[in-house]
Amino acid sequence: MNVVAQSEATTIRRETAPGISAVRIVSPAYQELYLSLFPIPGENVSKMISRLAEALKACDAVIVRHEVFGSLSARAETIQALEGEFENVDWPITWVEGAAAAAVPVEGMHLFAIAGIPVETLYEDGRPIGRTFDDGDFRHCLLGDLRPTKLDVSKGEQSLEVFEQLERMLGAVNMDMSHVMRTWFFLEDLLAWYGTFNEVRNKFYGEKKMSNGFMPASTGIGGRNPGGGAIVAGAWAVSATGPHATVREIASPLQCSATNYGSAFSRAIVLESPGAKKIMVSGTASIDPDGRSVRIGDLAGQLETSFDVVKAILISEGFGFDDVSRATGYFKPGQDGSQCRSDLRWLGMPGLRVHADICRPELLFEIELDAVLSAPGNFRKA
């Protein structure tokens, strides 16, 4: 589906091709590009990166967020392919190895890129760890590949180091934890210490007294990382620079607050500006309004419940599945993920299928997504 501007100001374009989905927000001043790539049968990593480079070079876009789900053994080849296609790989790459590592080198990747706006890179110890830009409504800071350096301490201490690293990098660009509106946490051996992670997160957020009045939207999933630590993380922080730019939390119509059962995150966050409205929906699983897991042992039922919950969140803010710009369906190891891929396409969503542990042993599926709408009066849907 394409969205066509009533004026010549801005368009939102949705494009698909074999192995790639793209959503482009095109305005006179700049472009935003949301890409989801997944391997074409028989394709090697180098060919996949060539397709990525072609898509980015077509609009002269610069990567600001890059998330890869793939085998750790495929990382060196992927980085080499990136270095062969791009002059300088100076953005953070959050690499997560899920449960399908032995079956396919790279399950897929999500990218967010910008064209027409200056982008600055943040480094720590010579390693790119974030990128910042200002679109006239918000100043954005996207951090990735946040991981501990002290691997001989407990998993809880490693996660605390990552939170401190996050806060330190925000401070370097005159932001703080109150500006964080979205986080991603990938934990090795997730089910063994997710409770400990939540304790660390709750305590850290509590001490910071998140001054925006809400917790970030978030995803917590199992996965290994190249650093060999217990956790790798990413975050997205924003600071309003335009007079009509706002960030707010919204509740889930079909679920209770995650804080009710000890998890410090919001169900969804909305960013609004004169040009667009965006929503970021946290990792959402088959959990009822009382915080209990439902449809136990029933993959199709958990898919249905999760989609119903997400649909209700989207509808509450005027969005639909055809407005989604990025989606990831996570399947518990051993589950058949083929249904997710077909469901995502049937619902019109650009999405990836990933195999990884979910935060509760009885949960078989979780989905997270982002969506974008034009501001009222600026666009019409074709």
CA atoms within 13 A of residue 370's CA, in its CB half-sphere: 23
User: Which tens digits make up the pLDDT trace of 280-325?
Assistant: 999 999 999 999 999 999 998 999 999 999 999 999 999 999 899 9
Dump the DSSP string for 254-292: TS--GGGGT---BSEEEEE-SSEEEEEEEEEESB-TTS-
- Check: CB of residue 198 under 8 Å from CB of residue 205: no
3-state secondary structure of 368: strand
**Are 177 and 208 spatial neighbours (Cβ–Cβ below 8 Å)?**
yes
Say what the pLDDT of residue 254 is: 98
Name the fold adopted by 118-243: 60s Ribosomal Protein L30; Chain: A; (3.30.1330)
Note the pLDDT of residue 1.
33
Please, which residues have CB within 8 angstroms of residue 79's CB and are 6 or more apart in sequence? Answer: 89, 93
Least Cα distance to 181 among 245, 111, 108 occurs for 245
Q: 119-177: per-residue pLDDT in tens? A: 999 999 999 999 999 999 999 999 999 999 999 999 999 999 999 999 999 999 999 99
Provide the b/e sequence for 249-284 (b: ≥16 CB within 10 Å). bbebebbbebeeeebbbbbbbbbbbebbbbbbbbbb
Residues 6+ apart with CB under 8 A from 136: 29, 241, 242
The CB density around residue 328, as the number of other CB atoms within 10 Å, is 26
Strand partners of residue 96: 69
Two domains, one topology: 1-116 and 277-382: yes
Q: Which of the listed CATH numbers 3.30.1330.40, 3.40.50.1000, 3.40.1160.10, 3.40.1280.10 matches domain 277-382?
A: 3.30.1330.40
Is the Cα dihedral 334, 189, 170, 121 positive or negative?
Answer: negative
Provide the residue ranges of all domains of the chain, joining segments of one domain with +. Answer: 1-116, 118-243, 277-382
- Segments of the chain scoring below 70 in pLDDT: 1-8, 100-102, 211-212, 337-348, 375-382
Q: Would you give the end-to-end CA distance of the chain in angstroms?
A: 7
Q: pTM of the entire structure?
A: 0.94
Instruction: Please state which of the four CATH numbers 3.30.1330, 2.40.50, 3.40.50, 2.40.10 is assigned to the domain occupying 1-116.
Output: 3.30.1330
Phi, psi at residue 79, to the nearest 5°?
-60, -40
* Chain-centroid distance, C-alpha 307: 17
- What amino acid is encoded at 61 in this protein? A
User: How much is the pLDDT for 211?
Assistant: 58
